[in-house]
């Protein structure tokens, strides 16, 4: 089931509105195979043709296929073609690839906008970039492409050139390296029939009333256009008592359901694009649809186990089975025999018309679907000589697989099977069994591709965190200038309080031990500075700096425990200290008037501070 869903993903991404071609007029024996697994059946006019349909003609037969873009694909006697690609992308682009496997075929058409239109024969293909008329011939050994009008792009293994009007290209599929370009188009008997059909399709007068471009010419001579309050409507030339959806049959299509195939020559557009209504003396008229969506046939249904009936819905009617349709009358309803799982419903020959249809059947939006034939799941077709010519769309950079692994990785080779063991002495009681020679490992395979994931940073990474600023207050009377030694008294060490604050009191003088700092700026370790004299350590009295208090971590309080009031984190105000207080046991040094202090701030000294105290002053004490 998982594999089936993976196969349906590309179709869901690229699929647009389905396209259906019309099987137009034909003569002689023509067979159709809509899909692999279906039997060949006789052709029916107005039969919807789907992608991958095969068609073939017999002796003295001919066939015309009309495309929804206005193109015509015609076959001569003893020919076989395939509608290889006939799809519409979700962007609206139409892809059309028509393949001729054998025989003679003509094509007249023009791609619109961004559409892609290709014709394929064994050994070559042509792409229509603008309107052109082309004749294709395929026999046992040679393929010929003749341009009757316009210019096409030829692509084959030997060349890729433009083939212009009046030129013929000859390609041999068995010898792909050669091709021949002739500057003439040899005449054939079927050329006149192709010319006549092109002229008929180009001179339709009904094209101005409808938005569709195929099946329009059949409305010209089989009906008239009448102007009403609903706009231009078309009235067919039929006998009295006629009603729509009577002459024909319903055929099952997997994407549409039961689809009407009319026996009337004009029965293409009126049954698939628009609705029917009865207007007084005019009788039944067809109201064209504005939407280009292909419909199987807008009708109401009623059925039972053996009976099925249907009738046309009115224009603009949004009908539900809970109420009777607007145009529901027994005279407007067509009946046929019905069996479960029937893939065709034909009203021909039905005679037991019920007098009270609602008494024996129920209204429904659609009939029950027939069972899907299991044989179609494994049905295959023989390969055509042109090969597989369907266009495969893809999204750049996207693959559909069961895992997220990289599909470009080379899988490791499977380990080879060990050779059988060799019995060296089968006659002894304990035969010696030894493995055979080691298997040949073969040439080394390609190296494995290893992908290392790239780390993704989702936060901010701090490479050089800032240092803590210096909040200490400097003594303005200190002489720590450049090149001038300081000669003030040593600093008494205050005793810190348990709360972390700063107190001031008279204590015994304590000399500072020598401090050795690495070369660099004071307070900025690791940063080199200019060399200079080494001044003594400053001994001025200053307030004790307040240590920074880290933010406390959240504390978990167990049930019943009393919540404590956290200590105050406010910074204590400093207490003024006498600046010239004489400490006991310390002599006042002599002033040196010749040394003039500089007023530069001590936060940016360029010289290296000396950590050694003045020992001469201590000895005098």
Strand pairing class (94-109; 116-121) = parallel
The answer to whether the CB of 338 falls within 8 A of the CB of 301 is no
* Torsion, Cα of 364, 310, 249, 220 (10° steps): -130
pLDDT tens for each residue of 566-580: 555 545 555 555 444
Report DSSP state, residue 169. E
pLDDT tens for each residue of 579-600: 444 444 444 455 455 544 454 4
User: In the predicted model, what is the mean pLDDT of residues 97-110?
Assistant: 97
Residue with tokens 């099952």: 252
The answer to whether the CB of 49 falls within 8 A of the CB of 65 is yes
C-alpha of 230 from chain center: 43
Is pLDDT of 437 > 80?
Answer: no
Report DSSP state, residue 344. E
- What pLDDT does 189 receive? 94
The answer to whether the CB of 531 falls within 8 A of the CB of 518 is no
Residues in the chain: 621
Which of 480, 471, 478, 499 is CA-nearest to residue 574?
Answer: 471
- What pLDDT does 378 receive? 83
| C-alpha–C-alpha distance, residues 55 and 103, integer Å | 12
Which of 313, 303, 316 is CA-nearest to residue 342?
Answer: 303
| C-alpha–C-alpha distance, residues 249 and 444, integer Å | 65
> Which of the pair, 224 or 414, is modelled with greater confidence?
224
| C-alpha–C-alpha distance, residues 459 and 129, integer Å | 55
Structural tokens at position 488 = 């003030």
- What pLDDT does 177 receive? 85
Is pLDDT of 358 > 60?
Answer: yes
| C-alpha–C-alpha distance, residues 411 and 448, integer Å | 8
Those residues whose C-beta lies under 8 Å from the C-beta of residue 616, and which sit 6 or more positions away, are none
Neighbours of 83 (CB within 10 A): 22
pLDDT grade for 176, boundaries at 50, 70 and 90: confident
pLDDT tens for each residue of 464-488: 555 555 555 555 554 544 444 444 4
Structural tokens at position 527 = 């940063």
Those residues whose C-beta lies under 8 Å from the C-beta of residue 482, and which sit 6 or more positions away, are 532, 598, 600, 605, 606, 607
pLDDT grade for 386, boundaries at 50, 70 and 90: confident
Is pLDDT of 604 > 60?
Answer: no
| C-alpha–C-alpha distance, residues 108 and 73, integer Å | 7
Report DSSP state, residue 440. P
Those residues whose C-beta lies under 8 Å from the C-beta of residue 100, and which sit 6 or more positions away, are 79, 80, 81, 119, 120, 121, 136, 138, 386
Is pLDDT of 392 > 60?
Answer: no
Structural tokens at position 498 = 């348990």
CA 50 vs CA 80, 131, 151, 159, 245: distances in Å: 16, 24, 28, 32, 22
Is pLDDT of 140 > 60?
Answer: yes
Is pLDDT of 181 > 60?
Answer: yes
- What pLDDT does 539 receive? 42
Residue with tokens 């609602």: 358
| C-alpha–C-alpha distance, residues 598 and 482, integer Å | 7
| C-alpha–C-alpha distance, residues 373 and 63, integer Å | 30
User: In the predicted model, what is the mean pLDDT of residues 295-304?
Assistant: 96
Is pLDDT of 326 > 80?
Answer: yes
Is pLDDT of 241 > 60?
Answer: yes
| Distant-in-sequence contacts of 60-63, Cβ < 8 A, 24+ apart | 60/27, 60/28, 61/26, 61/27, 61/28, 61/29, 61/30, 62/26, 62/27, 62/28, 62/190, 62/193, 63/23, 63/24, 63/26, 63/27, 63/30
- What pLDDT does 371 receive? 93
Those residues whose C-beta lies under 8 Å from the C-beta of residue 553, and which sit 6 or more positions away, are none
pLDDT tens for each residue of 183-216: 999 999 999 999 999 999 998 889 899 999 999 9
pLDDT grade for 402, boundaries at 50, 70 and 90: very low
Report DSSP state, residue 473. P
Q: Is 138 exposed, middle or buried (0-12, 13-18, 19+ CB in 10 A)?
A: buried
Q: pTM for the whole thing?
A: 0.63
- What pLDDT does 261 receive? 98
Those residues whose C-beta lies under 8 Å from the C-beta of residue 406, and which sit 6 or more positions away, are 449, 451
The answer to whether the CB of 217 falls within 8 A of the CB of 204 is yes
User: In the predicted model, what is the mean pLDDT of residues 288-314?
Assistant: 94
Structural tokens at position 140 = 């046992």
Which of 414, 609, 604, 437 is CA-nearest to residue 518?
Answer: 609
Q: Is 75 helix (H, G, I), strand (E, B) or coil?
A: strand
- What pLDDT does 347 receive? 96
- For 58-131, strand residue ranges (E) read 62-66, 72-75, 80-88, 94-109, 116-121, 124-128
pLDDT tens for each residue of 309-319: 999 999 999 99
C-alpha angle with apex 267: 261 to 268, nearest 5 degrees? Answer: 80
Average pLDDT, rounded, for the chain: 75
Q: Is 9 helix (H, G, I), strand (E, B) or coil?
A: helix
User: In the predicted model, what is the mean pLDDT of residues 422-441?
Assistant: 49
User: In the predicted model, what is the mean pLDDT of residues 300-317?
Assistant: 95
- What pLDDT does 594 receive? 52
- What pLDDT does 152 receive? 97
Task: Give the phi and the psi of residue 196 in degrees, each rounded to 5.
Answer: -65, -40
- What pLDDT does 467 receive? 56
Cα Rg for the chain, rounded, in angstroms? 49
Is pLDDT of 234 > 60?
Answer: yes
Which of 385, 508, 376 is CA-nearest to residue 101?
Answer: 385
Task: Give the phi and the psi of residue 128 in degrees, each rounded to 5.
Answer: -90, 120
CA 546 vs CA 471, 490, 506, 549, 569: distances in Å: 7, 20, 19, 9, 11
The answer to whether the CB of 252 falls within 8 A of the CB of 41 is no
Strand partners, 125: 120, 155
Q: N- to C-terminal Cα distance for the chain? A: 101
> Which of the pair, 415 or 165, is modelled with greater confidence?
165
């Amino acid at each position: 089931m998982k594999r089936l869903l993976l196969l349906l993903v590309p179709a869901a991404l690229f699929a647009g509105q389905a396209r259906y071609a019309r099987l137009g007029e034909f003569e002689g024996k023509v067979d159709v195979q809509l899909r692999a697994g279906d039997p060949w059946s006789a052709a029916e006019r107005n039969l919807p043709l789907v992608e991958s349909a095969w068609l073939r003609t017999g002796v003295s037969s001919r066939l015309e296929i009309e495309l929804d873009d206005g193109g015509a694909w015609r076959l001569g006697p003893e020919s076989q073609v395939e509608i290889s690609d006939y799809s519409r992308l979700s962007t609206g682009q139409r892809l059309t690839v028509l393949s001729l496997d054998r025989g003679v075929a003509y094509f007249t058409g023009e791609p619109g906008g961004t559409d892609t239109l290709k014709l394929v024969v064994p050994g070559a293909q042509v792409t229509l970039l603008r309107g052109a008329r082309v004749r294709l011939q395929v026999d046992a050994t040679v393929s010929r492409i003749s341009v009757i009008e316009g210019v096409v792009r030829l692509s084959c293994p030997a060349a890729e050139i433009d083939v212009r009007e009046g030129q013929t290209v000859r390609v041999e599929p068995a010898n792909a390296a050669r091709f021949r370009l002739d500057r003439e188009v040899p005449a054939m008997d079927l050329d006149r029939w192709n010319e006549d059909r092109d002229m008929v399709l180009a001179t339709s007068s009904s094209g101005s009333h409808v938005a569709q471009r195929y099946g329009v010419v059949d409305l010209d001579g089989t009906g008239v256009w009448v102007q009403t309050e609903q706009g231009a409507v078309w009235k067919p030339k039929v006998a009295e008592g006629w009603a729509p959806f009577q002459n024909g049959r319903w055929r099952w299509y997997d994407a549409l359901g039961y689809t009407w195939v009319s026996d009337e020559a004009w029965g293409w557009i009126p049954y698939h694009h628009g609705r029917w209504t009865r207007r007084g003396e005019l009788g039944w008229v067809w109201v064209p649809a504005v939407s280009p969506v292909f419909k199987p046939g807008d009708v109401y249904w009623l059925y039972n186990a053996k009976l099925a009936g249907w009738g046309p819905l009115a224009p603009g009617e949004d009908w539900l089975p809970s109420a009777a349709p607007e145009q529901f009358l027994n005279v407007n309803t067509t009946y046929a025999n019905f069996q479960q799982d029937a893939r065709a419903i034909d009203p021909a020959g039905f005679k037991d018309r019920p007098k009270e249809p609602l008494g024996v059947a129920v209204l429904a939006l659609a009939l029950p679907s027939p069972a899907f034939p299991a044989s179609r799941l494994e049905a295959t077709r023989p390969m055509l000589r042109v090969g597989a010519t369907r266009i495969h769309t893809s999204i750049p950079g996207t693959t559909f697989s069961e895992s997220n692994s990289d599909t470009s990785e080379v899988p490791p080779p499977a380990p080879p099977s060990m050779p059988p063991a060799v019995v060296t002495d089968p006659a002894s009681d304990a035969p010696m069994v030894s493995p055979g020679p080691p298997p040949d490992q073969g040439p080394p395979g390609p190296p494995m591709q290893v992908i290392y994931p790239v780390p993704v940073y989702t936060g901010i990474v701090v490479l050089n965190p800032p240092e803590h600023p210096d909040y200490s207050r400097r003594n303005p009377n200190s002489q720590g200038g450049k090149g001038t030694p300081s000669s003030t008294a040593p600093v008494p060490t205050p005793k810190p309080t348990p709360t972390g604050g700063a107190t001031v009191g008279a204590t015994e003088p304590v000399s500072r031990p020598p401090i050795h700092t690495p070369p660099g700026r004071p307070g900025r370790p690791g940063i080199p500075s200019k060399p200079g004299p080494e001044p003594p350590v400053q001994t001025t009295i200053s307030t004790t700096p307040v240590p920074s208090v880290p933010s406390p971590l959240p504390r978990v309080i167990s049930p019943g425990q009393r919540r404590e009031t956290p200590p105050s984190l406010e910074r204590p105000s400093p207490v003024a200290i006498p600046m010239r207080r004489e400490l006991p046991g310390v002599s006042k040094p002599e002033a040196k008037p010749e040394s003039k202090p500089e007023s530069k701030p001590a936060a940016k000294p360029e010289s290296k501070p000396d950590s050694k105290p003045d020992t001469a002053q201590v000895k005098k004490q």
